[in-house]
Amino acid sequence: MARPKVVIIGAGFGGLAAAKALKRAPVDIEIVDRRNYHLFQPLLYQVATADLSPADIAWPIRSIFSRQKNVAVTLAEVQGVDLEAQQVLSAAGPIDYDHLIVATGAQHAYFGNDHWEEHAPGLKRLVDATEIRRRILMAFERAELAQDPEAQARELTFVVVGAGPTGVEMAGAIAELAHFTLARDFRRIRSRDARVILVEAGDRVLSPFPEDLSAKARASLEKLGVEVWTGVTVEDISTEGVQTSDGFVPSATVIWGAGVAVKHLEAWLGVEIDRAGRAMVGPDLTVPGHPDVFVIGDAAKMPWADGKDVPGIAPAAKQAGAYVADVIAAQVAGRARPGPFRYRHVGNLATIGRHAAVIDFGRVKLSGFVAWWLWGVAHIYFLIGVRQPLIVAVSWFWSYVTYSKGARLITGRPVQSSKQHPPQT
């Protein structure tokens, strides 16, 4: 008799954790992803700001599982799920499953303002990071060539929308790029004159953190030269800049960090979804009525405690992946399925440039330089689970001590002059 088939859609933190936890289970696993790599998203902003190269934070899925023989990888776009026939429908044809784990993650979302995307890319995929890197570096290049002081000022104004961890990290890193890394590179402009504006509709940065850490994060950002505009909403984004509730900001480079949403799950699974498109799963992370179909990680609204949801962070996705693997292994072995998923919250981390971070471990709260080092060690530690930690560490350390950025390449687009203000699609 054929072994039970586990299909995992998505090779993010959740999908990988599930596949690894099923290493010794008597099942055949097929991971379906439209990319050939796993992406270490927490460091994605460092690619966007030219601290790291794409290959430093992405690993081919096949090489992660080259020694785990019960895993096959299919590089294909998923088009749907046939729950009756127990098949995943993909560009590579239908794929049968006995157990299905949907771990597709979230994309950035503009909530009814999709036309903002071309002017204000988000930061979820590797192509987003290299595109943002290209835009930031090209803005400095165009400023260097601009004759008109107004055009120059517009090129040197960077607006980050949304002060969650991604927005805070991006704003801090752009400020450092302008004030340190590029400081000696230009002859006609002073890169230090660049303005970095962080716009947040709420009343403080890093709202999931306690208020005192928010205040410390804000102080660290301001020390780096970032203008923090809280209580300000974005009303429109165009080629020319950003219309806020506080006035118009001429800007050539806008980055979106204000929201994410999940796609396709209602259509694929017939499952109830919340406003952000996340699947409403049961306590065992299954789709109601389908005990063999699981949704985990950012794609699911996983209930936690006090009416809160499990946060959309890597440790949560990993725990969910390992839990679902346990459920499947128990069922395959004929044992009783374990009880409901219980999320163990370790803490929240965010970094501000290369000298400060804020960490909330619940009872323990840290900020400043010590927190930054802890953040760095934690991330290098997590990377060690995958590949080439030595090179990332060396590359990062080198970049840190020299303030030089080898990854500062503008690739993929022709040069555009500052005079034309072309639509930045």
Active site residues: 169
**Contact at 8 Å (CB) between 229 and 258?**
no
Cβ-based nearer residue to a copy of itself, 370 or 390: 390
DSSP-assigned beta bridge partners for residue 55 = none
Q: Shortest Cβ distance from residue 21 to a copy of itself (Å)?
A: 20
Cβ-based nearer residue to a copy of itself, 75 or 322: 75
Cβ-based nearer residue to a copy of itself, 39 or 81: 39
Instruction: State how far the Cα of 178 lies from the Cα of 175, in Å rounded to an integer.
Output: 5
Q: Shortest Cβ distance from residue 25 to a copy of itself (Å)?
A: 17
Q: Shortest Cβ distance from residue 354 to a copy of itself (Å)?
A: 18
Cβ-based nearer residue to a copy of itself, 31 or 199: 31
Instruction: State how far the Cα of 233 lies from the Cα of 140, in Å rounded to an integer.
Output: 27
Q: In this structure, what are the phi and psi dihedrals at residue 174, rounded to the nearest 5 degrees?
A: -65, -40
> And the tokens for 128?
């987003």
DSSP-assigned beta bridge partners for residue 37 = 60
Cβ-based nearer residue to a copy of itself, 331 or 388: 388
Q: Shortest Cβ distance from residue 269 to a copy of itself (Å)?
A: 22
What is the binding site for a copy of itself (CB under 8 A)? 34-37, 53-56, 58-60, 62-63, 66-67, 72-77, 91-93, 126-127, 130, 137, 141, 144-145, 182, 184-188, 387-388, 390-391, 394-395, 398, 404-412, 414-415, 417
Q: In this structure, what are the phi and psi dihedrals at residue 31, rounded to the nearest 5 degrees?
A: -95, 125
Look at residue 286 and give its three-state secondary structure: strand
Cβ-based nearer residue to a copy of itself, 57 or 320: 57
Sign of the C-alpha dihedral, residues 215, 117, 51, 145?
negative
Cβ-based nearer residue to a copy of itself, 59 or 323: 59
Q: Report the candidate in 330, 376, 386, 331 with the shortest Cα–Cα distance to residue 349.
A: 376
**Element (H or E) spanning 89, and its range?**
strand 87-90
Instruction: State how far the Cα of 254 lies from the Cα of 256, in Å rounded to an integer.
Output: 7
Q: Shortest Cβ distance from residue 88 to a copy of itself (Å)?
A: 14
The residues, ordered by sequence, that sit 6+ positions from 395 with a Cβ below 8 Å of its Cβ are 52, 53, 56, 406
**Contact at 8 Å (CB) between 156 and 135?**
no
Give the Cβ contact number of residue 139 at 10 Å.
22
Instruction: State how far the Cα of 295 lies from the Cα of 232, in Å rounded to an integer.
Output: 35
Instruction: Please give the span between the terminal C-alpha atoms of the chain, in angstroms, as a whole number.
Output: 53
The residues, ordered by sequence, that sit 6+ positions from 331 with a Cβ below 8 Å of its Cβ are 99, 337
Strands 99-102 and 5-9: parallel
Cβ-based nearer residue to a copy of itself, 20 or 218: 20
**Contact at 8 Å (CB) between 249 and 238?**
no
DSSP-assigned beta bridge partners for residue 348 = 360
Strands 290-295 and 286-287: antiparallel
